[in-house]
Structure 1
Amino acid sequence: MRKSHGPAFKKAVIELARCPACRGRAVVTGVFHDLPCNSCNASGWVAAGTGETLDLAELVTQLNMKLQAALRKIEQMKNAPAPGPEAQYQTNNRRGAGGTNYTGD
């Protein structure tokens, strides 16, 4: 491990897992009503490797990083070219009259 001074330049991503005590629901069933889960600070998430509770400031940061990654993946899937036969209809193949799209229909 290298020696370094000061905080890290990038925030480390901690793998999150659902809390085993409440199964990600953030509440546990009491005798008469639901109670906040003490194992995960009523968040439903714990560190995947160790199973320990994250403090709330760290949890918010990790959930935001996870959300941003999911949004990036959704945008990539939206911008991906259409698979299969419909790909021919979505792009211009310049085979028609005057260089227009020809689909063969």
Structure 2
Amino acid sequence: MAWTVLIASGVLEAVWATALGMSQGFRRPGPTLVFLVTSTLSMAGLSYAMTSLPTGSAYAVWVGIGTVLTVAVAAVRGQEKLTPLRGVLLAGLIGCVIGLKAVS
């Protein structure tokens, strides 16, 4: 259960990071509201997961999922260029997240 919550929290991290960028410094109310709600839920899920998972591993997995998904969303939206090298590095990050789950 903790891993499921942690993964969902990582997905929410990507949502709030994207919304934060779209809020234009908290000047746009819609993205600002999405940021506030999803960041709260993401942190709550991370906190819950840390009650039964090692803190370092849980945090690394949470950040890794959020990072990869945030870059993917930005690439799909045309805000960032996904070069082959960036793809390899992101794949490596995914591999590290999977590895941390495997050894935890």
TM-score scaled by length of structure 1:
0.29
| Structure with greater proportional helix content | 2
Question: Higher Cα Rg: structure 1 or 2?
Answer: 1
